Every structure is written in C-alpha cells, then in structure tokens.
Amino acid sequence: MSRLPLQPIQGFLTAARAGNLSRAAESLNLTVSALSHQIRALEERLRQRLFERGPRGIRLTADGQRLFDAVAAPFDALERALRPCCSRRDEVLSLSLLPSMASSWLVPRLPGFLAAHPQLEINLQSSISLVDFERDLAVDAAIRYGPGRWPGLTATHLFDDWIAPLASPKLVAEHGGNKPQDLSRYPLLEDDAGRWPDWFARFGGSAPRRFVARLDDAETLHRAAAAGMGVAMGRMTLAKPLIDAGLLVVLSPQRLKSDYAHYLVHPARSDDHAGLAAFRAWLLEEARRYGAAMDEPAPAVSPRRPAPPSRRARSAGGK
C-alpha cells in the first residue's frame, strides 16, 4: 500500500474527537461535504468502515477505534514537535476576518496604519470560517462579529452595529414614503436573522404575508437591495460603502441595535506580540471614531415629489 496522506487522517481524528461532522468540519475550515469525502476515501483505502452514523452524530466502529488508538498519539506528538518551528515575527501580523468586514471597513483604513508603522507587515486572511487558533498558529488575531464571548480568547469590544431599512434610490422614487407604515408599499427582502418582525414591533407597521426573496448572506442582501430588488433590513457597517456611493439610501432614521458587535480577539500566545499591540491601539481609536459617528442616526431619505407643473403647462390646461 502506498503512503497514506496526512490530511484525511487529520480529518478522521478531528471527527472522532468531535463526534459530529459539522463541528469537525468547522474546526478544520472545511465543508461537511469535503470532510465526508476525506473520510470516505480513507475508508475505501483501508477497506474498513471507520464510523457509524446516527441521528445524534457519529461514533467509531471497532476498526475505527483501533485506528484512532494507533495514530492519535503519534499525530499529536508530531504536531507538538512542529510548533516551535512556527516561530513568530513581531514585525508581521496575521489577521483573520470576514471578507465583507475586510472590504467595507478595515481595508479602506489600513493605509493610515501602514504609513504610521512602516516596519510592520499585515497579512489578511479573509474567510467566512472562524479561525482555529489552536491549529492555525500562523494567525495572531481576528476581528469577529458576535456576542463577545469566545472561550480561551481575549475579546476587546470595537463598536456596535445598527440595523435599518435600506433601498435603492430608484425604488424609493417609485414607491415613496419613509414611515414604518409606508414600508407596506415596498417589496421587502428577508435574511436568515429575521429582523423585520422586531422592526415592526418596535416602530409600528406590519410585516407582509410574504417576502419577495430571502437571502442568507449580509453582503448579498445589500447588493440585492442596491439592485432594486426590494428593501433590506441591512447592517449599517457593511452597507456604508454602498450608502456613500449613492447606491443605497436609509429609509428611516429609526434603527435597531444589533445583538452582536465587532470585536478584536486573540489567543494568550499573542499577548506580547509587539505588532498586535500597535495594531490594537490604532484599531481602538479608529473604532472609537467610527462608533461615535454611527451613534448619530443617519438622515432618512425624503421621498421624491412630482415637480409642480410649469406656467406653460398650466396655461395649456386652460387654468
């Protein structure tokens, strides 16, 4: 038999310890389908069934348990042996964050930081998956959107986020009205967070019997609203570039505060990282300025009214 690849073995060990393919795939930054394919390929290669799958997860078969007992300790020892080789450089800062947060908020501000700290190099890793600091030793910190509690990590609050109805200028011109009860005139877009009921409960009005579309990604939701598909209950931080570009307008000065906020998080091993300390100080000041500006409600767009008829038109009408 040819040599076994290490990646499927790592996937096997992670799945065995998690007892759940979804959790194991998330920790490896893989899709469940990709991890399942790795395990299936390993089973076919060994000609053994390694897992039994049930409604509550997965568990090792007798063959799977024998393989786990044989390879888990050596694999962990290899990982520990390699850790010192991943030496840290304080002049290089590796940061993980969502692609939408990178493009809409951080990247436009980074030139100022790099100009003030020319000795530092920033490596951005944009991904929709949460980084596993225990396994990805090359990543020093991350910017996350969430409740602020991640076991084993230090989380520093950056700023809150606000949610408001957003639409394209063309859609506003066609429908008009920016009061809660006026929203019934518009086609509405829904996301997986289901924020519209909270909006109507807080500010009045009623949700439609159906939404024109449902989207599970914030950036896609904002782009759909900018294309005129409907009104989105959008996140102001991510939508701000589209608002500044005139592609989206805020329909109401009334806003909801998100249950989640933006945080800088890092593991204990990054506590004394000089590059991270400089970045953190700069980031907190940028966040303070941005948060202060965001605390002021954005002015709502005024619906366009038809222009009054010209004098010539009135004359032609005989009045």
Whether this model's pTM surpasses 0.85: no
Whether residue 123 lies inside any domain: the answer is yes
Predicted confidence at residue 300, as pLDDT, reads 53
Predicted confidence at residue 138, as pLDDT, reads 82
Whether residue 121 lies inside any domain: the answer is yes
With a cut of 50, list the residues of the chain below it in pLDDT.
Answer: 1, 302-319
Q: How far is CA 76 from CA 10, 15, 68, 269, in A?
A: 10, 15, 12, 19
d(CA 233, CA 195): 7
- Both 177 and 137 in one domain: the answer is no
Predicted confidence at residue 66, as pLDDT, reads 94
Predicted confidence at residue 113, as pLDDT, reads 94
Of 34, 64, 85, which residue is a domain's last? 85
Predicted confidence at residue 316, as pLDDT, reads 37
Q: Domain containing 203 — which CATH number?
A: 3.40.190.10
Q: Domain containing 16 — which CATH number?
A: 1.10.10.10
Whether residue 302 lies inside any domain: the answer is no
Of 66, 85, 104, which residue is a domain's last? 85
Predicted confidence at residue 85, as pLDDT, reads 53
Dihedral in degrees, nearest 10, Cα atoms 310, 312, 313, 314: 90
Cβ-Cβ contacts under 8 Å for 151 (sequence gap 6 or more): none
Predicted confidence at residue 177, as pLDDT, reads 60
Condensed to tens digits (0 to 9), the pLDDT of residues 85-131 reads 555 567 889 999 998 899 999 999 999 999 999 989 999 988 877 88
- Both 154 and 138 in one domain: the answer is yes
Burial class (CB in 10 A: 0-12, 13-18, 19+), 74: exposed
Predicted confidence at residue 297, as pLDDT, reads 56
d(CA 11, CA 4): 13
Whether residue 195 lies inside any domain: the answer is yes
- Both 98 and 245 in one domain: the answer is no
- Both 172 and 231 in one domain: the answer is yes
- Both 218 and 247 in one domain: the answer is yes
- For residue 239, the enclosing domain spans 161-258
Give the 3-state secondary structure of residue 65. helix
- Both 40 and 81 in one domain: the answer is yes
| Residue 250: strand pairing partners | 166
Give the 3-state secondary structure of residue 124. strand
Structurally, how many domains does the chain consist of?
3
The total number of residues shown for the chain amounts to 319
